[in-house]
Structure 1
């Protein structure tokens, strides 16, 4: 079976990834753009994402989170609904890492439990402590087993996941606790990637 994968030059691929993972988050957090630490943070995010940017894009869903996956148990197949219509200047094509990062956002980051209020959070000064009442452990383990080959670039996926959490913060302005947990998750993921990069080198 022939699978069409459009090739794009590195600059075009970088522009699309920047649009989805960096520009979108900056636009939503525009008031923070005046802060030098914030600017430096996203400069590092962009640099790390570009180290392993794909020059071939694939057909992607664009919003591959658990609520958009419907299971047809009788016929043993999945329906994917509500796909994103654009990835930068592309339509159905994009960086496949974005879809996997969206799944990690749900299975590892527990985004669905955050918006369902299945967590507790305690803030003391600049420290944010939280815990979840539920866990996707069995599904997460199967996900890592099935996609083991694609998850070799896990630091890059978690970096995208970090931007997803940060970009969600302004969308939950009516819930400070949601924003606090999303901020904590985003920063934790970024710090974990940076620590791994210092120890082993990013993307290895």
Structure 2
């Protein structure tokens, strides 16, 4: 049994120890060992009574809101780098591409009209017409355009599949210039084309029919 459970501690010498040794040990030990009892602690001891002054309860009018537990320090603000605008360059390239495609398509379409069999037959008919030679003179030919590399600009369309041809372009000779108009249609599939208009109108208003 420990001294905490046995109450006052008393020094009891063993039986084999002599009286002289016992007296020496008694003088060396403090006297509090013989007199001071140890305090016992029991499990049935009641806890301390609650304090007489209670803290004032804190009430809340609204529900609680979540908030950050740790406040992260904000980084110093630096000016954002300026991003160059790319849409003007993209728009310029797109415009150039569309314009180039339109010019190329127009040039190719006009070349198809110039080299078509209809235009070549029209030129042969005009060169062999005596009335047109008397009005325009010799060397009857289409008027070339510099932006078409010397080829004439032909207005209208040549659609032999659908049976519709309607053309006009400038011509000139040694005496003057004029504009030739040619219109031909095919009423039904398999039938030949019928010429509705084939005439030259000079710059002075003179009309020369080439259908007769």
Shorter-chain TM range is under 0.3
**Higher RCO structure, 1 or 2 (CA under 8 Å, sep 6+):** 1
**TM-score, length-scaled by structure 2:** 0.23
Greater share of helix: 1
Greater share of strand: 2
Q: Which has the larger radius of gyration?
A: 2
